[in-house]
Structure 1
Amino acid sequence: MTTTDTTAVAAPFFLRGDLHEGRDLTHRSRDLGVTFATPRLALDRAIHPRTEVPPLLNVPLDEIIDFLVETGDRIRHPDNPFLRDCIDRMAATHVLPRPVLQAQVIGAADYLDRRLLRTVVEQNFPDPAALDRWVPKQDFTGRKSFVRAFAPRLIHVLPGNSPGVAVKSVAQGALVKAVNLFKMSSSDPFTTVAILRTMADIDPEHPIVTSMSAVYWRGGDDTVERVLYRPQYFDKIVAWGGGDAIDNVVKYLGPGFQLVSFDPKTSISMVGREAFDSEASLDLAAELAASDVMVLNQEACVASRFVFVEADHADADRFCERLHARIVAKAAASGDTRPLDLDLREQIDTLAMLDDEFRVFGHTDGTGLVVRSDEPVDFHPINKTANVVRVRSLDDAVKYINVATQTIGFYPFTRMADYRDRLASGGAQRIVRLGEAGPSTIGNPHDAMYPLHRFVHWMAHEDGVAPGDGAAVDVPCTAVGEENSLM
């Protein structure tokens, strides 16, 4: 942080319903090194006292969904001044082209759909009523209790690669009735505030609005994080992002203060020998694979980076030629012309000289690139770069699956069921038809969990056996001991 630069792009904060503007501090965006200015963070305003129940606690879920749906309508409206201003500012700090950013933000509003939001809740909670009230229960011994999915206090560490995550995070924070503090990224210190300003324009006093805060500080800034990252103030950190972002959080974890991590993942594709049955099937497989590589111009975790192809060298090269042509076309259509960074260019230029082991299709100028190899390359393919790995059998590709493998696009579709158990055993979290890495079935697990179920603070009120209900069923001491041993 430095003294402010009056030419820097301004990034205001939003704290519990109030907009905070100022140019007290300047920062640099992660990818482009562009300067932006923020107010000084008032830590006391970022904390909602535990002596006060969360503002959304007793707001019915149906009313929350109504408000989110109206927010989605406002985000999509072409005259929304907050979103227009947000995209203007973000275009200066983000690596993605303005049209891609605009499409991401506006398209993310589709998440604010009534049926979608209701489905997400129903898939995450066996009994969604627990969000609205204390649900009565009675076990087989006669003991009575009440259980509630209590409104949590959450810090959301947002990613810089996808501005659409801000819409989803705000919606999920509202659905679980949380008190939310959003730490924005240096690539996008704008979108979350624009969403919250849109909400405040609908109703500045709505409990959703007063439950939300969005600010920026440099990740790892101990002067901020050692104050905020405490169980006295928050229950959980919901962290997206790379290894450094997660490492900044982990050191503060302890009893009563938990991490829900959407940590770095790598997605891949698996293409069977059936792709070479005809020219049409080869074209189809290449097109579908290119679609998965180019999700958010390969900035998203679901974007494929390694394509395992069941083929000999000649067929693998035929596939690479067609895949490269389609990546180039998609990159050109997006307007994304960023060249690869220097280190990646140097590594790929070195590989291009090793003709026996590698073959490079394209150039490192940012127009799209494919590297063919017999083993996965030891760098992280990014910025429209795919590594096609030739294997004799897709069985050989399974050994490369691990817990960091998120999405696997598979072709032909008829072989997916034969591999899903082995892929899950390796640690993979999602298998889809090739070409469908981007869309997801509504309400499905994400990163091998149901996130909203983990966000809430599960609270039990046990009321014993009421008089006159009869004697409780005897439970063996060993069973009670086993239950207590889990505490």
Structure 2
Amino acid sequence: MNAILPPLAGPARVRHVIKGQVIEGDSLEYGREPNRFTTPALDVGALVWPRPTPTPAADVPVDEIIDVLVATGDVLKRDASGALAQAMERSVAAGFYPRDLVETSFAHLGHMFSRTSMEFMIAQEIGGKDLLDGWREVTAPSGRSARVRAFPCRLLHVIAGNSPGVAANTVIRGALTKGAHLLKLPSNELFSAPAILAALSEAAPGHPVARSFSAAYWRGGDEAVEGLLFRPQYFDKIVAWGGESTIKGALKYVGPGLELVAFDPKTSISLIGREAFASEAALEAAAEAGAHDATIMNQEACTASRFQFIEGSIEQIDRYCERLQAKLGRARRSASAEPRPIARSLRDEIDGLRDLEDYYRVWGGYEGRGLVIRSDEAVDFYPEGKVVNVVAVERLEDALRHVNVATQTVGVYPPQRKAALRDLLASAGAQRIVSLGAATPEVGLPHDGFYPLHRFVRWVNDEG
């Protein structure tokens, strides 16, 4: 990335993108120091695509759309204008993540626009390009002929701010499904989505795909805005990422004609068998994999493990804990080595455990380089900031009582134990079972228990 735009000064200036056009301005101001920012005035009427006019890219062949997206990735990789570099610097200045993690995340954005990945997504999640480009002929058991199409929708996305990759995935999925998409910018990630959409417009100026996207900020829950926008005459679906308040805020507008697609809050865990103690090499591999999964986006991602259930004697488990704690503070592609002090409220919870040495043992300090709590029962608070609760169990199956519909990813060591556990985990509510160390999500596979592309369209029949 080439930072050739003017240096940063004053409140961060957030750009809007309206149907492919980048909008500058500082009419509105939000936030407090050090995270003050300004945005252009919000023209609510410009944020919708009127019915019954088809969405701009409805009749664009999906192969052409993929070409445009690949070109967008190339623009992001080159960043000749420096726009992505400036967006990255603004994100660094906002302070939600350390610089090294922000730099790595932004550098990866262009690589997400991979032709191979997009072809795989369509094949897995839709069932073929023909369903996006037209009507597939089928014959029902009765003998009646029918035609089926994955039809484009108008979607309003309330995206999460825990990774710039959320914006990139939203643009890719939205473009492949040919819909019209309004992205509400999250207050903790204001810059990646406009930069990606600006790159899209640079790669294909005025193209129907570019005209299919808008991105703007308004304060979440602002009924003066959401009461107008969150209506079935303008949008078919609300795609909501984030915490409980975000999902509840979207739900109050859901009704006939306006559907909710929820990437709702999840927690992830790990299951580690006694095979981890078969040798020093096995222990090292398990601890490294456990540390990787616990620190995805510095443990801000839903896929990041917070509770790790492990078989073994107390002496063996303590060896694992010591090894794990030493690895939590290391830099990885999805984790920073820069320490961020643990929140005071969490420190108070952990201080209370230090006084109960018969039941708990703690490795690490509060400076943010990783802390591990070993216990016989899962703690009743939420580990974050590279804090992991390692829970001793007789059998991995004993951890099933801690699995429910809010459990997203379960990492298992060794991988051979997955086959005996996966049906039990799925029955308890888990949505994703992976080998320990492989918690980073893959595109083209179910996310939160469903195929996103499948939900981003409306399935329409023409029968007889």
Partner of 1:155, secondary structure, is strand
> Contact 1:331–1:337 (CA<8 Å) still a contact in 2?
no
- Corresponding position: 1:241 with 2:231: no
Retained in 1: the 8 A contact 2:75–2:202? no
Q: CA deviation at 1:370?
A: 0.8
Deviation per residue, 1:181-239 (Å, 9 max, x gap): 00111011111100111111122210111110001112111111111111010000111
Q: 1:216 — aligned with what?
A: 217
Displacement of 1:78 in angstroms is: 4.9
How far apart in 2 are the matches of 1:140 and 1:292?
47
Q: Do the aligned residues in 2 keep the contact of 1:331 with 1:384 (CA within 8 Å)? A: no
Aligned mates of 2:128, 2:330 — CA distance in 1: 47
Provide the C-alpha distance between the structure 2 equivalents of 1:272 and 1:309, rounded to a whole number of angstroms: 6
Does 1:48 pair with 2:54? no
- Write the distance in 2 (CA, Å) between the matches of 1:127 and 1:278: 47
Shift of 1:130: 1.6
1:250 touches 1:259 (CA, 8 Å); kept in 2? yes
Residue 384 to residue 111, structure 1, CA distance change in 2 (3 Å): same
3-state SS in 2 of match to 1:344: helix
Could you say what secondary structure the match of 2:329 adopts?
helix
Shift of 1:143: 2.7
Could you tell me which of 327, 331, 350 is aligned with 1:348?
Answer: 350
| Counterparts of 1:140 and 1:317, CA distance in 2 | 61
Q: C-alpha offsets along residues 416-446 of structure 1, whole Å, 9 cap, x if unaligned?
A: 1011110010011111111111153x42111
Q: How does 1:291-310 map to 2 (within 5 A)?
A: 291-310=292-311
1:9-48, aligned counterparts within 5 Å? 9-28=12-31, 34-48=35-49
**How far 1:280 moved relative to its partner?**
2.1
Asked if the contact 2:276–2:286 (Cα under 8 Å) also holds between the matched residues in 1, the reply is: yes
Residue aligning to 1:275: 276
Mapping of residues 76-475 of structure 1, within 5 Å: 76-330=77-331, 334-440=336-442, 442-462=443-463, 464=464
Q: CA deviation at 1:324?
A: 0.3
Query: Which deviates the most, 50-59 or 124-133?
Result: 124-133
Identity %: 47
Name the CA distance, whole Å, in 1 between partners of 2:445 and 2:81: 31
> Cα 1:331–1:178, aligned 2, differ >3 Å: closer, same or farther?
closer
Tell me the alpha carbon deviations over residues 96-150 of structure 1, each in whole angstroms, 9 at most, x when there is no partner. 1122112112213322111110110010123431211122333233433322211
Q: CA deviation at 1:7?
A: 2.6
State the secondary structure of the residue aligned to 1:390. strand
Which amino acid counterpart does residue 42 of structure 1 have in structure 2? D
1:198 is paired with a residue whose SS is helix
**1:390-432, CA deviations, whole angstroms, 9 ceiling, x for partnerless residues?**
1111111111111111111111111110111100100111111
* CA distance in 2: counterparts of 1:239 and 1:80, whole angstroms: 32
For structure 1, which runs of at least 5 residues remain unmatched after alignment?
1-5, 465-487
Provide the C-alpha distance between the structure 2 equivalents of 1:449 and 1:222, rounded to a whole number of angstroms.
Answer: 30
Q: Is the 8 A contact 1:407 1:432 kept in 2?
A: yes
Residue in 1 aligned with 2:3?
none
- Contact kept? 1:297, 1:331, Cα under 8 Å: no
Q: 1:219 to 1:258 in 2, by over 3 A?
A: same
Contact in 2 for aligned 1:94/1:187 (Cα 8 Å):
no
Cα deviation, 1:63-108, whole Å, max 9, x if unaligned, reads 0000001111111115342201110111122411122112112213
CA distance in 1, matches of 2:203, 2:40: 25
* Cα distance in structure 2, aligned partners of 1:361 and 1:179: 50
CA contact (8 A) 2:155 2:181 kept: yes
C-alpha distance in 2 between matches for 1:208 and 1:266: 35
| Superposition TM-score, scaled by structure 1 size | 0.90
Q: What SS is found at the alignment partner of 2:206?
A: coil
2:397 partner letter: D
Instruction: Give structure 2 stretches of 5+ with no counterpart.
Output: 1-8
The amino acid of 2:112's aligned partner reads: Y
Indicate conservation of the 8 Å contact 2:330/2:337, yes or no. no
- Tell me how far apart the structure 1 counterparts of residues 436 and 370 of structure 2 sit (CA, whole Å): 19
CA contact (8 A) 2:329 2:336 kept: no
Query: Which amino acid in 1 is paired with 2:140?
Result: D
Greater Cα offset, 62-71 or 219-228: 219-228
Partner residue, 1:467: none
Q: Does the Cα contact within 8 Å between 1:94 and 1:188 map onto a contact in 2? A: no
Cα distance in 1 for partners of 2:275, 2:438 equals 18
Structure 1 contact 74–80 (Cα < 8 Å) conserved: no
2-structure distance, mates of 1:317, 1:344: 22
State the aligned residue count. 455
C-alpha contact (below 8 Å) 1:270/1:411 kept by paired residues: yes
Worse-matched range after superposition: 194-203 or 150-159: 194-203
Q: Given residue 437 of structure 1, which amino acid in structure 2 is its aligned partner?
A: A
Cα distance in 2 for partners of 1:266, 1:33 equals 30
For 2:360, the aligned partner's letter is F
Instruction: Specify the SS of the correspondent of 1:256.
Output: coil
Does the aligned pair in 2 maintain the 1:26–1:38 contact within 8 Å?
yes
Give the Cα separation in 1 of the matches to 2:196 and 2:226: 24
Letter in 1 for 2:390: V
User: Aligned letter for 1:215?
Assistant: A
Per the alignment, residue 62 of structure 2 pairs with: 61
Greater shift after overlay, 197-206 or 447-456? 197-206
Matches of 2:343 and 2:297, distance apart in 1: 18
1:58 maps to a residue whose letter is D
Q: Secondary structure at the match of 2:44?
A: coil
CA contact (8 A) 1:86 1:191 kept: yes
Q: Judging changes above 3 Å, is the alpha-carbon distance between structure 1 residues 136 and 413 closer, same or farther for their aligned structure 2 residues?
A: closer
Q: Which residue identity is paired with 1:423?
A: L
Match of 1:72 in 2: 73
Counterpart check, 1:8 vs 2:11: yes
Aligned residues: CA RMSD: 1.7
Contact 1:173 / 1:180 at 8 angstroms: preserved in 2? yes
How far apart, in 2, do the equivalents of 1:77 and 1:163 lie? 18
